């Protein structure tokens, strides 16, 4: 396996031979023990662009072993030193951001502008957690009985298994790795098989930044279920942090329950976007475009149901259709592209099926709605109006560039409809009336609310969902790092 790390001189050129993409175990780059590989496909062209190892149970055991060997040293590393290494990870990611963005665009297909945004967001988790690493504090108090002091110390939870999806190959990994390392934990990352290259490129950066061997291990596999079960069965593993679909999250919660392992779950969403009559139309349209079209709709926070009040409905649909129809669709790596391809052909077929079902039930296609011929997994930006409430896409994540618009009349009505889902990740509200905005925000069942804006993610804010969108929070002051620590209480008499 090629040992060379990323060449900063190459800047935005991505030469796959120029960086290691073997399994990253104990600081070494190795092939899978069975020699098998997984092909990585560019969704814009359908071309195979690289291959990565297909890890076995034996490789997973080696990764846990490496994380266990590195654990005592990393846990004892001074917080200031850990902080400086994390800060260096941030700096190197920023230095290499153009190359990383190009890599993300190639393996995920997202438009380069979205990939650049992702790299900046992903790097920020290192900067933020470099600052958090030196601010871990405990508690000290007197017991109510007066007999002793209560001392509470926060300690690293132990070895963590981290599992991430393909839609944000850099950010979903750094949102876990950075706080875990700040807390003093060692980790095994299993990125999605569709987008493994970014994870390996980042592993080389961590190593260059001074993260010791074994502190971050990365492995790719086509058998995530058996490998995860085996890792969770190792008593040294104490944490599972998962980002992905609610279905897989449920399976993993059951698996973790067998060993009573702490779980953080960032799962699926079905975000409502609510536009009241008194909203500023341009602000609402700008916000809707970001909430719907960041990553071509392949985001857990993507607006999945757009509820628009009757008085502003027609102007909103007209404005949204104009903006969606004008988007440049193309290869992710093309700088002009505003909407790249979907991740797989299967994803395109699912979106096509949802749109067909909605139109059969009476939804009107304002733009898009037809799968194009030719290479690449493309689906056009699509607006549907007059969408009835009982369509499948109102219950399921569309995960694509389709905006279904539903009409509503009253505040009570829209709150009930917004909450009529098993999910509760993000929601968007547009109104000029701040009192109404805050009232509706408090009643909508979601972990995150964007008020008069289309973007909610921020490393400095707690990210996460309620209901079946997950358990726990990532990012934010204390929240993200707390997921990787455990309280130890000492009853002290002196």
Q: Which is nearer to ligand NAD, 378 or 423 (CB)?
A: 423
User: Which one of residues 136, 300, 363, 440 is an interface residue with ligand NAD (CB under 6 A)?
Assistant: 300
User: Nearest distance from residue 423's CB to ligand NAD, in Å?
Assistant: 9
Taking CB under 6 A as the rule, does residue 20 contact ligand NAD? no
User: Nearest distance from residue 123's CB to ligand NAD, in Å?
Assistant: 17
Instruction: Using alpha carbons, select from 5, 22, 402 the residue that is nearest to residue 204.
Output: 5
Hey, which residues between 435 and 474 contact ligand NAD (CB under 6 A)?
Answer: 465, 470
Instruction: Find the catalytic residue in 185, 300, 339, 367.
Output: 300
User: Nearest distance from residue 275's CB to ligand NAD, in Å?
Assistant: 23
Instruction: Find the catalytic residue in 118, 132, 266, 298.
Output: 266
Task: Name, in order, each residue with C-beta under 8 angstroms of 84's C-beta and a sequence gap of 6 or more.
Answer: 130, 210
Q: Is 300 a catalytic residue?
A: yes
Burial class for 282, CB neighbours closer than 10 Å (0-12, 13-18, 19+): exposed
Cα angle, residue 209 at apex, residues 203 and 213 outer, rounded to 5°: 60
Instruction: Using alpha carbons, select from 274, 386, 372 the residue that is nearest to residue 321.
Output: 386
User: Which one of residues 397, 415, 456, 482 is an interface residue with ligand NAD (CB under 6 A)?
Assistant: 397
Contact 427, 394 (CB under 8 A): no
Q: Which is nearer to ligand NAD, 23 or 284 (CB)?
A: 23
Q: Which stretch binds ligand NAD (CB under 6 A): 11-19, 85-93, 244-252, 305-313?
A: 244-252
User: Nearest distance from residue 221's CB to ligand NAD, in Å?
Assistant: 8
Q: List 411's β-bridge partners, or say none.
A: none
- Alpha helical stretches, state H, 134-245: 171-183, 196-209, 224-233
User: Which one of residues 245, 344, 419, 452 is an interface residue with ligand NAD (CB under 6 A)?
Assistant: 245
Q: Nearest 5°: phi and psi at 407?
A: -90, 145
Element holding 152 (H helix, E strand): strand 149-156
Q: Which is nearer to ligand NAD, 269 or 287 (CB)?
A: 269
- Collapsing DSSP to helix, strand or coil, 156 comes out as strand
Q: Which is nearer to ligand NAD, 120 or 281 (CB)?
A: 120
Characterize 27-37 residue by residue with b for buried, 16 or more Cβ atoms within 10 angstroms of its Cβ, and e for exposed: bbbbbbeeeeb
Q: Establish how many alpha carbons lie within 13 A of residue 390's alpha carbon, considering only the half-sphere containing its beta carbon.
A: 3
Note the maximum CA span of the chain.
78
- End-to-end alpha carbon distance in the chain: 58
Q: Which x/- pattern over 261-280 shows residues binding ligand NAD (rule: CB under 6 A)?
A: -----xxxx-----------
Instruction: Using alpha carbons, select from 430, 421, 392 the residue that is nearest to residue 313.
Output: 430
Q: Which is nearer to ligand NAD, 244 or 381 (CB)?
A: 244
User: Nearest distance from residue 180's CB to ligand NAD, in Å?
Assistant: 16
Q: Which is nearer to ligand NAD, 42 or 474 (CB)?
A: 474
Contact 303, 410 (CB under 8 A): no
User: Nearest distance from residue 431's CB to ligand NAD, in Å?
Assistant: 26
Q: Establish how many alpha carbons lie within 13 A of residue 121's alpha carbon, considering only the half-sphere containing its beta carbon.
A: 23
Q: Which x/- pattern over 191-210 shows residues binding ligand NAD (rule: CB under 6 A)?
A: -xx-----------------
Q: Which is nearer to ligand NAD, 244 or 319 (CB)?
A: 244
Interface with ligand NAD: number of residues (CB under 6 A): 28
Q: Which residue is nearest to ligand NAD (CB)?
A: 244
Q: C-alpha dihedral over 57, 59, 61, 66, to 10 degrees?
A: -170
Q: Is 266 a catalytic residue?
A: yes
Q: Which is nearer to ligand NAD, 103 or 285 (CB)?
A: 103
Burial class for 87, CB neighbours closer than 10 Å (0-12, 13-18, 19+): middle
User: Which one of residues 198, 243, 295, 304 is an interface residue with ligand NAD (CB under 6 A)?
Assistant: 243
Q: 10 Å Cβ neighbour count for 469?
A: 28
Q: Which is nearer to ligand NAD, 160 or 300 (CB)?
A: 300
| DSSP notation for 408-426 | E--HHHHHHHHT-SS--SE
User: Nearest distance from residue 277's CB to ligand NAD, in Å?
Assistant: 30
Hey, which residues between 155 and 194 contact ligand NAD (CB under 6 A)?
Answer: 163-168, 172, 190, 192-193
Beta strands in 173-302 (DSSP E): 187-190, 216-218, 237-243, 262-266, 271-275
Please state, in angstroms and as integers, the Cα–Cα distance from residue 211 to each residue in 85, 263, 353, following that order: 6, 25, 46
User: Nearest distance from residue 98's CB to ligand NAD, in Å?
Assistant: 24
User: Nearest distance from residue 420's CB to ligand NAD, in Å?
Assistant: 18
User: Which one of residues 97, 186, 228, 431 is an interface residue with ligand NAD (CB under 6 A)?
Assistant: 228
User: Which one of residues 214, 244, 424, 472 is an interface residue with ligand NAD (CB under 6 A)?
Assistant: 244
Q: Please give the residue ranges that form the binding site for ligand NAD (CB under 6 A).
A: 163-168, 172, 190, 192-193, 224-225, 228, 243-245, 248, 251-252, 266-269, 300, 397, 425, 465, 470
Active site residues: 266, 300
């Amino acid at each position: 396996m090629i040992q060379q790390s990323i060449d900063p001189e190459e800047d935005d050129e991505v030469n796959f031979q120029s960086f290691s993409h073997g399994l990253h175990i104990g600081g070494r780059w190795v092939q899978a023990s069975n020699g098998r590989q997984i092909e990585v496909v560019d969704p814009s062209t359908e071309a195979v662009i690289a291959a990565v190892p297909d890890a076995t149970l034996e490789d997973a055991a080696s990764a846990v072993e490496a994380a266990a060997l590195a654990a005592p040293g990393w846990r004892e590393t001074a917080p200031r030193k850990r902080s400086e290494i994390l800060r260096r990870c941030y700096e190197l990611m920023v230095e290499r951001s153009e190359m990383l963005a190009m890599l993300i665009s190639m393996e995920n297909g997202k438009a380069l502008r979205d990939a650049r945004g992702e790299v900046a967001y992903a790097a920020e988790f290192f900067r933020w957690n470099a600052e958090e690493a030196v601010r871990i504090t405990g508690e000290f108090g007197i017991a109510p009985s007066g007999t002793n002091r209560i001392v509470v110390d926060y300690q690293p939870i132990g070895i963590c298994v981290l599992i991430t999806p393909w839609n944000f190959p850099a950010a979903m990994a750094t949102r876990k790795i950075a706080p875990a390392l700040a807390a003093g934990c060692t980790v095994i990352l299993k990125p999605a098989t569709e987008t493994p290259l970014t994870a390996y490129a980042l592993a080389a950066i961590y190593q260059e930044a001074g993260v010791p061997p074994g502190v971050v291990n990365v492995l790719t596999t086509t058998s995530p279920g058996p490998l995860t079960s085996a890792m969770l069965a190792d008593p040294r593993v104490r944490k599972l942090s998962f980002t992905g679909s609610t279905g897989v999250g449920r399976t993993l919660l059951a698996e973790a329950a067998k060993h009573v392992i702490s779980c953080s779950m960032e799962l699926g969403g079905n975000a409502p976007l609510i536009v009241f009559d008194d909203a500023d139309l341009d602000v609402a349209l700008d916000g809707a475009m970001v909430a719907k079209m960041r990553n071509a709709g392949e985001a857990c926070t993507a607006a999945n149901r757009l509820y628009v009040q009757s008085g502003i409905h027609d102007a909103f649909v007209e404005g949204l259709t104009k903006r969606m129809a004008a988007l440049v669709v193309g290869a992710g790596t093309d700088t002009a592209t505003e909407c790249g391809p979907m991740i797989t052909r299967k994803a395109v077929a699912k979106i096509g099926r949802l749109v067909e079902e909605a139109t059969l039930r009476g939804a009107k296609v304002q733009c898009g709605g037809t799968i194009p011929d030719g290479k690449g997994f493309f689906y056009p930006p699509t607006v549907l109006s007059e969408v009835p409430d009982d369509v499948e896409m109102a219950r399921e994540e569309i995960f694509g560039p389709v905006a279904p618009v539903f009409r509503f009349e009253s505040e009570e009505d829209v709150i009930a409809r917004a909450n009529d889902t098993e999910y509760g990740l993000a929601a968007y509200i547009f109104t000029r009336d701040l009192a109404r905005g805050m009232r509706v925000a408090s009643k909508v069942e979601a972990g995150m609310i964007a008020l008069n804006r289309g973007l909610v993610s921020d490393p400095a804010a707690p990210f996460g969902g309620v209901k079946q969108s997950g358990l726990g929070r990532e990012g934010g002051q204390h929240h993200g790092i707390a997921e990787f620590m455990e309280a130890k209480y000492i009853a002290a008499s002196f």
